[in-house]
């Protein structure tokens, strides 16, 4: 059994899926983020002044890119895997000799592909509004890849437990969006009172946004090493949970 071909097949299927419906998957984030650039960057941002020594527009670009990566990685896997459960075509993989780690890696890879693609498009769009500076390309690539993996895993776990389409929108609406908005996308957490800075540091998205911002601007509210440790811990924990759930057949096998 060639696991490489099986993995490639799941990845192909996932990429084909979001490319087939690109109007629903690729275009909306580009439009939404453009509106953020226009409203928060150009219109309101020009009145805010400097943030951590940078124009407000330059400051929020990395956060907005990261926001689109997070949302798209998560929603791609959540909706794709739940659709596969709902249409029962997940059984195509379950009856085949595909190891569980290949199923997890295939879906997570698909989510990462969409997250990174949308992130690239948003970066291109942002270039119309601000001059992009790169402080450390390695940190940028590592942060975007690892963060998209975290949220793709999160989307997979959500889809495994989901019993209806409502269940895959609850977490993005009530957990992901608040955490992202409070995750330092639009502000430096150093502006907050000390207590709220401490609270903010419980939010994992703070570490991802700041590591990503460091890659562009060279500034961060948290240590980059700590940020990568947090991301690494999340990947390990979520991967273990996803593997356990699929191995036990939770939500998949009766």
Residues that bind another protein (CB under 8 A): 1-3, 5-6, 8-10, 12-13, 16-17, 20, 83-84, 87-89, 91-99, 249, 253-254
Q: How far apart are CA 48 and CA 144, in angstroms?
A: 27
Q: Output 82 or 207, the one with its CB closest to another protein.
A: 82
Query: Contact 168/159 with Cβ under 8 angstroms?
Result: yes
Structure tokens at 22: 């690109």
Residue 243: CB minimum distance to another protein, A: 15
Q: What's the Cα-to-Cα distance from 165 to each of 24, 85, 197, 208, 221, rounded to whole Å?
A: 16, 11, 35, 28, 37
Question: Distance between alpha carbon 150 and the CA centroid of its chain, in Å?
Answer: 7
Q: Output 6 or 208, the one with its CB closest to another protein.
A: 6
With CA atoms as reference, report the closest residue to 212 among 237, 238, 185.
185
Q: What's the Cα-to-Cα distance from 215 to each of 142, 166, 170, 208, 222, rounded to whole Å?
A: 10, 36, 32, 11, 13
Place of tokens 């430096």: 188
Residue 96: CB minimum distance to another protein, A: 4
Q: Output 91 or 131, the one with its CB closest to another protein.
A: 91
Q: Output 7 or 185, the one with its CB closest to another protein.
A: 7
Residue 92: CB minimum distance to another protein, A: 6
Residue 99: CB minimum distance to another protein, A: 7
Q: Output 3 or 236, the one with its CB closest to another protein.
A: 3
Q: Rg of the Cα trace of the chain?
A: 19
Q: Output 87 or 225, the one with its CB closest to another protein.
A: 87
Residue 210: CB minimum distance to another protein, A: 39
Residue 3: CB minimum distance to another protein, A: 7
- The interaxial angle of helices 137-161 and 56-86, nearest 10 deg, is 30
């Amino acid at each position: 059994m060639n696991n490489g071909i099986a993995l490639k097949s799941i990845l192909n299927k996932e990429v084909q899926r979001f490319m087939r419906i690109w109007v629903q998957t690729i275009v909306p984030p580009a439009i939404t983020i453009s509106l953020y650039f226009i409203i928060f960057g150009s219109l309101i941002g020009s009145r805010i002044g400097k943030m951590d020594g940078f124009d407000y527009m330059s400051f929020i670009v990395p956060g907005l890119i990261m926001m689109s990566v997070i949302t798209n990685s998560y929603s791609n896997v959540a909706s794709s895997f739940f659709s596969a459960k709902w249409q029962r075509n997940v059984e195509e993989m379950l009856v085949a000799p595909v190891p569980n780690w290949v199923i997890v890696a295939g879906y997570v890879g698909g989510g990462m592909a969409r997250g990174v693609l949308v992130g690239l498009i948003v970066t291109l769009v942002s270039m119309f509004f601000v001059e992009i500076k790169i402080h450390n390309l390695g940190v940028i690539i590592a942060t975007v890849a690892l963060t998209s993996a975290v949220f793709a895993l999160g989307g997979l776990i959500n889809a495994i437990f989901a019993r209806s389409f409502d269940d895959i929108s609850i977490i993005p609406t009530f957990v992901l969006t608040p955490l992202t908005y409070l995750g330092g996308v639009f502000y430096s957490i150093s502006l907050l009172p000390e207590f709220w800075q401490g609270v903010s540091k419980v939010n994992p998205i703070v570490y991802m946004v700041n590591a990503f911002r460091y890659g562009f601007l060279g500034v961060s509210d948290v240590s980059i090493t700590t940020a990568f440790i947090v991301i690494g811990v999340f990947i390990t924990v979520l991967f273990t949970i996803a593997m356990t759930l699929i191995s036990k057949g939770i939500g998949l096998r009766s």
